Chain A
């Protein structure tokens, strides 16, 4: 009877650990983390000079991201001397240089600069000084 009991125990142990007969086993684990996107700083106020005809030459200093680096380009906007939006200047597209020539009509104008990377936009700069085109 004792022999029978001992045999039953051995059988139970063998059945209880089938992994022992396998080649190995797999472990699953998890954890967390984070990914942070950059932030565009505001544009710098542009300086203006008269060009030929009613053209206005607009130039500005480069903007940066909060942790360094330069944006892809800039959007330039033209405002009336009263500060009312008039038009997207310099072709209305993202300018990758730090200056452009705007074909303005006769009048007195102010300009702003907005840093741009893809769909991202930095804060628009303050209005420039006025210029008579």
Chain B
């Protein structure tokens, strides 16, 4: 009987720790930043003041498991002195786009250049940064 006491203590410890871990993990999803796992790229040309354009963003799943793209946001940086990023408005994507392991897909978002964008924006290139969130 005395030989079983340490074993019982460890079992109790195991049960307690596992329960605590499960409760903590089920409350929120685990966020993993893997730049090499989800690659985003896209571009758009022909922007004019007050006009809408459609930008295609390519989403590459480099993982070995299927993912679902949940959201995608774009940050616009200044194109030139006197032509800030605020002159370009890019819509965010929200959805549940399934992308198989190692596959890719496209997301279309609306891009609008403000009607009052200054002349300094003419012919300039706005650098874009995409940030996506997916679930697996």
8 pairs, CB–CB < 8 Å, chain A vs chain B:
A8-B10, A15-B21, A21-B25, A35-B126, A37-B113, A37-B123, A38-B122, A67-B45
Closest Cβ neighbor of A4 among chain B residues: B6
Residues of B within 8 A of A (CB): 6-7, 10-11, 13-14, 17-18, 21-22, 24-26, 29-35, 37-50, 55, 57, 63, 67, 70, 74, 76, 79, 88, 90, 111, 113, 115-119, 121-136
Question: Does chain B have a CB within 8 A of A29?
Answer: yes
Residue positions of A touching B, CB distance < 8 A: 3-4, 7-8, 10-11, 14-15, 18-40, 65-67, 69, 117-121
- Select which of B18, B48, B50 is within 8 A of A14 by beta carbon: B18
Task: Determine which of A11, A29, A39 lies in contact with B134 in the assembled complex, contact meaning CB atoms within 8 Å.
Answer: A29
**Residues in chain B near residue A118, CB distance under 8 A:** 49-50, 115-117
Chain A residue nearest in CB terms to B27: A22
Identify 5 new A-B residue pairs, CB closer than 8 A, beyond the known A11-B17, A30-B131, A36-B47.
A8-B10, A26-B29, A31-B129, A35-B125, A36-B123
Does more than half of chain A's interface fall in helix, strand or loop, or is it mixed? mixed
Give the distance in Å from the alpha carbon of A8 to the alpha carbon of B6 in the complex: 11
Closest chain B CB from A40 CB (angstroms): 6
